[in-house]
Structure 1
Amino acid sequence: MKFLLTSAGIKNKRIHDTLINLLGKPISESSALCITTGLYAIPGGAEKAWQFFSGQSTTPMCELGWKSMGVLELTALPSIDKERWVPMVQETDVLLVNGGDPLYLCYWMRQSGLADLLPSLRAVYVGLSAGSMVMAPNIGEYFVGWIPPGGGDDTLRLVDFSIFPHLDHEMLPDNTMAAAERWAAGMKGPAYAIDDETAIKVVDGAVEVVSEGHWKLFGS
């Protein structure tokens, strides 16, 4: 699986061009499935999900001109036959995974069976904020909100680094570089702090930062 892990979606031309390169074809010829499950564990999540689907958010992903687009609701998947949804996921070109609470999203990725399926998919995985963080080994105590049944901050370990998104965001005054440095000091492996103009591309384990903004790698 190919990953494009963003802080805030397809925010600039460099990230947009990288997405097209990963797809290997135009967006207008590509199918997408959207996942907003992580939003439901934060205040106003239902409204934020609608904004994402309808292209009214400030994090461009759904409104890019996809050939087709569907919704994959992870909380529904355990109650339906896998034959109803697994082939659809296997055939799609891209998964657009919104943010919210990373541990809640991780929990439902595991409960639904999607986590087990992800490594075998041909699709491009495009994460946004928590949708990117969930691919890491863990998120760090700084980002723990919803607490999973077993506790802890472990996530899916599909990439070998952790992510501090929304660096120096005007609406998130606590997300400073100093805060990112303190967070990174508690992480066990490489950790990136990225702003909303930055994404991380991962293909076959090779990591590349794609940015028109600023970022920092800790623990390299």
Structure 2
Amino acid sequence: MKLLLTSAGIHNPSIREALVGLLGKPIADSHALCIPTAGYGHPMMSPLHSWRFVSGQEARCPMTELGWKSIGLLELTALPTSSRERWTSWVREADVLLVNGGDALYLAYWMRQSGLADLLPALERTVWVGLSAGSMVMAPRVGDFFIEARPPLTGEDRALGLVDFSIFPHLAHPDLPDNSMANAERWAADIGGPAYAIDDETAIEVVDGRVRVVSEGAWKYFPG
């Protein structure tokens, strides 16, 4: 699987160019599935936020409104009630998975419960585009700074670990005063491993283990 881990979606031309490069074809020729699940786990998000993401009405975090050839909705909490053969065919046929923000641990829990986490390593050509929590979920850990509610059964800040670094999104965001560089540095010290702090103009591309930062803004790497 090819990853484009963003703080706020396809926010500038450089990130959009990276997306097209990963797809290997124009957005207008690509089929997408959007995954809103993480939003339901975050106390500051509502059904309105999910609708905006799904319907392409969230201009601050462009994802579904990019002009895809087709776009469908994949709600992870529903997958355990459907046959695995049915929903895995939908995922395999998609060119890209667009994954909303919200609560990263809630998302990780439902990715495991649904079976999607187990399927991801087999999706060699598929692009995963994460938005905030949709990016953080790929990390080994989220860190206490971002924990809203620990998921059932685990009680840990463990995410999926499909990359070897953690992500602090929305760096220096004007509406999120706690997301300062000073707090990012404290968060990174607690993580105890490689980590990136990225602003909304930055994304991290991962292909076959190779990491590239795509940015028109600010970011910092913490080696751990």
TM range, normalised to the smaller chain? Answer: over 0.9
Cα shift at 1:162: 0.2
Contact 1:45 1:100 in 2 (8 A): no
Looking at structure 1, the residues matched to 122 and 164 of structure 2 have their Cα atoms a distance apart, in angstroms, of 17
Query: Which SS does the other structure have where 2:191 is aligned?
Result: coil
Is 1:210 aligned with 2:214? Answer: yes
Contact 2:132 2:169 in 1 (8 A): yes
Q: Residues 150-187 of structure 1, C-alpha deviation per residue, up to 9 Å, x if partnerless?
A: 20100001000000000000110000000000000011
Query: Which SS does the other structure have where 1:193 is aligned?
Result: strand
Cα shift at 1:32: 0.2
Is 1:137 aligned with 2:145? Answer: no
Partner of 1:35: 35
Give the number of equivalent residue pairs.
Answer: 220
Runs of 4+ in 1 over 3 A off after TM superposition: none
Partner of 1:47: 48
Looking at structure 2, the residues matched to 67 and 56 of structure 1 have their Cα atoms a distance apart, in angstroms, of 17
Cα shift at 1:65: 0.4
- Structure 2 residue runs without a partner (length 5+): none
- Structure 1 residue runs without a partner (length 5+): none
Q: TM-score under structure 2 normalisation?
A: 0.96
Partner of 2:107: 105
Cα shift at 1:146: 1.6
Looking at structure 2, the residues matched to 2 and 173 of structure 1 have their Cα atoms a distance apart, in angstroms, of 32
Q: TM-score under structure 1 normalisation?
A: 0.98
Q: Percent identity?
A: 66
Looking at structure 2, the residues matched to 72 and 53 of structure 1 have their Cα atoms a distance apart, in angstroms, of 10
Contact 2:142 2:166 in 1 (8 A): yes
**Relative to structure 2, which stretch is displaced further, 1-10 or 78-87?**
78-87
Cα shift at 1:45: 2.6
Partner of 1:68: 70
Looking at structure 1, the residues matched to 98 and 138 of structure 2 have their Cα atoms a distance apart, in angstroms, of 13
Looking at structure 1, the residues matched to 141 and 71 of structure 2 have their Cα atoms a distance apart, in angstroms, of 30
Query: Which SS does the other structure have where 2:72 is aligned?
Result: strand
Query: Which SS does the other structure have where 1:152 is aligned?
Result: coil
Is 1:186 aligned with 2:190? Answer: yes
Partner of 2:149: 146
Query: In the alignment, residue 95 of structure 1 is paired with which amino acid?
Result: L
CA RMSD in angstroms comes to 0.8
Cα shift at 1:103: 0.4
